[in-house]
Amino acid sequence: MSDERAGMDYLNTWPRKLVTVYAPLSAFLIILLFPFYWMTVTTFKSNEELYNFKDYNPLWIHSPTLDNVKRLLFDTDYPQWLVITMTVAVVATAISLFASVLAAYAIQRLRFKGGQTVGLMIYLAYLVPPSILFIPLATMVFQFGLYDSPMALILTYPTFLIPFCTWLLMGYFKSIPYELEECALVDGASRIQILWKITLPLAVPGLISAGIFAFTLSWNEFIYALAFISSVEKKTVPVAVLTQLVEGDVYHWGSLMAGALLGSLPVAVIYSFFVEHYVSSLTGAVKE
């Protein structure tokens, strides 16, 4: 795309571009990344350095230490929270992917009566925010005896994962030439064989996109995890960092930032591997 855009680029001279493009762009990058830099710097500072702006320049680490990370990993339930969060995210993602693949295939390819309406309803379901649902869901969770169990999260996360994944996968299925399926039908393949052996292998990029998105959304989920889980050892990372690492009025900023940094790492690592999937599915989902 950038090459086509070069058509008008001759109008911009280098100094002009420096002021109108590079300077503001650098400012954006610095502001967008600064909180993460600050998080990292705080994590590896000792307490005396952390609270002494006079003798140490706060923007730099003078004597890096792993104390905060050590305290987080060995004096708190942090490893346990990571395991819980990971389990919930993986299981909820798996359930949602399974349900979404079938639903998206049915809506996009089987073209059943009312399929378009169902597709629209699923889109609308994505627009229902968790802040409206968590109170009634809390009463249901109580009734089902799921309160304080990771099951409560595994069952409720698909409510926002399925609409998103279905919508995304519908777009992918649409892009697979229908003729391939017709050929298979002619050769006597059953519908399930077609889905399993032809459509799904071709939709692998879509499946990866939906999977990593669902995983990220589950990892980031907050309000349900806050409302449905009360035991310290069963909390998810975002909730636990916020509620367990603050003791009364004493904020251990070093450990807090270490918790935030480590909690961001899994999604950041996955993100760095699948950047293109993220970008294409984000923009693709919006364009649909």
Partner 1 sequence: MVNHPIAGSRAGTVPAQGKRVARPKDSWIVRTFDNPAVLSFLFMLPAATLLLVFLTYPLGLGIWLGFTDTRIGRPGVFIGLDNYVSLFQDSMFWLAVTNTVLYTVIATIGKFTLGLWLALLLNNHLPAKALIRSIILVPWIVPTVLSALAFWWIYDSQFSIISWALVELGLIDHYIDFLGTPNNARASLIAANIWRGIPFVAICLLAGLQTISPSLYEAAALDGASAWQRFRHVTLPMLMPILAVVMTFSILFTFTDFQLIYAITRGGPAGTTHLMATLAFQRAIPGGQLGEGAAIAVAMIPFLLFATLFSYFALARRKWQQGGSDD
What residues numbered 215-244 form the site for partner 1, per CB under 8 A? Answer: 216, 219-220, 222-223, 226-227, 237-239, 241-242
Query: Of 167-206, which residues contact partner 1 (CB under 8 A)?
Result: 178, 182, 185-188, 190-192
Q: Give the containing element (helix H, strand E) for 218.
A: helix 204-220
Q: Which is nearer to partner 1, 133 or 202 (CB)?
A: 133
Binding flag, residue 132, partner 1 (CB under 8 A):
yes
Residue 177 structure tokens: 């030439």
Identity of residue 87: T
Query: Of 54-93, which residues contact partner 1 (CB under 8 A)?
Result: 58-59
Pseudo-torsion of CA 143, 144, 145, 151, nearest 10°?
-140
Pseudo-torsion of CA 89, 90, 91, 93, nearest 10°?
80
Binder to partner 1 among 62, 98, 204, 232 (CB under 8 A)?
98
Q: Which is nearer to partner 1, 175 or 190 (CB)?
A: 190
Binder to partner 1 among 18, 28, 30, 174 (CB under 8 A)?
28
Binder to partner 1 among 82, 84, 89, 106 (CB under 8 A)?
106
Binding flag, residue 6, partner 1 (CB under 8 A):
yes
Query: What's the N-to-C CA distance of the chain in angstroms?
Result: 20
Q: How near is the Cβ of 71 to partner 1 at its closest, in Å?
A: 16
Q: How near is the Cβ of 108 to partner 1 at its closest, in Å?
A: 11
Query: Of 245-284, which residues contact partner 1 (CB under 8 A)?
Result: 253, 256-257, 259-261, 263-264, 267-268, 271-272, 275, 278-279, 282-283
Q: How near is the Cβ of 81 to partner 1 at its closest, in Å?
A: 12
Residue 182 structure tokens: 């017709």
Stretch near partner 1 under the rule CB under 8 A, chosen from 16-24, 60-68, 72-80, 199-207 = 16-24
Identity of residue 233: E
Binding flag, residue 208, partner 1 (CB under 8 A):
no
Residue 26 structure tokens: 């650098």
Q: Which is nearer to partner 1, 13 or 131 (CB)?
A: 131
Residue 116 structure tokens: 């378009």
Q: How near is the Cβ of 11 to partner 1 at its closest, in Å?
A: 8
Closest by CA position to 210, among listed 130, 127, 99:
99
Binder to partner 1 among 16, 18, 30, 36 (CB under 8 A)?
36
Burial of 204 (0-12, 13-18, 19+ CB in 10 A): exposed
Q: In whole angstroms, what is the distance from residue 97 CA to residue 157 CA?
A: 12
Beta bridge partners of 251: 246
Q: How near is the Cβ of 239 to partner 1 at its closest, in Å?
A: 8
Strand 250-251 relative to strand 246-247, pairing: antiparallel
Do 278 and 211 form a contact (C-beta atoms < 8 A)?
Answer: no
